[in-house]
Structure 1
């Protein structure tokens, strides 16, 4: 059940991050899920020691964990845009 929640919330966070970074037209639902989950993992390794809070991949679905995972998805999309276009946008 926890894996299903991670996929659903990862998809929503990836979709929101792609809306903010204006890459939603280029991505489908599968890529949104991947961006959300990988962004949450990135946030767990890089942002959690700096900001604190939980991580959705560890099963913590609090507001702080969702925010940190959302920031991780934004950072991931910014890195992808930097390599793809040469600018963060």
Structure 2
């Protein structure tokens, strides 16, 4: 992976994690945590969402996919924190 792709990947993860933290109140993890949640969320969304037929592409589509996955991840984390 070249440095430009890595930077874009981290930026998409940061934006998606921040967006998910704003939507799912009280579950933000700071900048590094949000990047991790956004990247893991992107993998989660890449695994779950193609079956729904969502054909998003480009940087905005990547952010939307990653944000949806990060929201799902934050809801799951919040559920286990309450237990």
> What is the TM-score of this pair, normalised by structure 2?
0.82
Partner of 1:52: 54
Q: 1:8 to 1:65 in 2, by over 3 A?
A: closer
Provide the rounded CA distance (Å) in 2 between the counterparts of 1:66 and 1:8.
Answer: 9
Instruction: Name 2:6's counterpart in structure 1.
Output: 3
Counterpart in the other structure of 2:16: 13
Deviation of 1:5 (Å): 0.5
Alignment of 1:1-89 (within 5 A): 1-23=4-26, 26-53=28-55, 61-86=58-83
The structure-2 alpha-carbon separation of the partners of 1:76 and 1:51, relative to structure 1 and needing over 3 Å to count, comes to: farther
The alignment covers a number of residue pairs equal to: 80
Deviation at 1:63, TM superposition (A): 3.0
How much does 1:65 deviate?
3.1
Structure 2 distance, partners of 1:82, 1:33, is 20
| CA deviation map 1:47-83 (0-9, x unaligned) | 12223335xxxxx534333222211111010110011
2:41–2:69 CA contact under 8 A, matched in 1: yes
Q: Unaligned 5+ residue runs, structure 1?
A: 55-59
Instruction: Please give the alpha-carbon distance, in whole angstroms, between the structure 2 residues aligned to 1:27 and 1:43.
Output: 19
RMSD, aligned CA: 1.8
